[in-house]
Amino acid sequence: MKQLYIKQKVFSLSGKYTVKDQQENDRYYVEGSFMQVPKTFSILNTSREEVALIEKKVFTLLPKFFVEVNGQEILTIKKEFSFLKARYTIDAAGIEVNGNWWDMDFQVLQDGEIIAEVGKEWFTWGDSYKVQILDDEMETMIIALVVAIDCVKADQAAAASASM
């Protein structure tokens, strides 16, 4: 089992994160685009090579986010039409998210087996998440999924504040 920590940089306009291991070593860097359409987040390894990409689809009726790992689209997060509460679904082959992903407290399952657990770290500056990965082969996909969900939440918060 591997434990990683995703920490958002507070004063970043484009959305930057650092992913560290338990010994505080950098494992990944996440860099968001600034003033670019479509909005993207690149996940880079320690050699600064892109290993995953998150892209917000433009020109759709409802928000939709695509996640690619190693050049292959592996999942889609899309908003569903609802009147009362925002609802999103995650489409991926065999991947499910169970729990409260709006509060960033959830499990990631593949074909019914838990492959990761995510929990929001409270009382920190900026968003921070503790990610326990049970299947090492899924590490990059799990990091991309957590960043994508955080991006969806930020997009929803921005839309809500713009409508007030």
Q: What is the pTM of this model?
A: 0.82
pLDDT score recorded for residue 133: 95
Q: How confident is the model at residue 93 (pLDDT cuts 50, 70, 90)?
A: confident
Is 90 exceeded by the pLDDT of residue 157? Answer: no
Q: Is 68 exposed, middle or buried (0-12, 13-18, 19+ CB in 10 A)?
A: middle
Query: How many domains are contained in the chain?
Result: 1
120-151, pLDDT tens digit by residue? Answer: 887 655 678 899 999 888 999 999 888 888 87
In this structure, what CATH number is given to the domain that contains residue 118?
Answer: 2.40.160.200
Q: How confident is the model at residue 89 (pLDDT cuts 50, 70, 90)?
A: confident
Q: Which domain holds residue 108?
A: 2-162
Average pLDDT over every residue of 23-50: 88
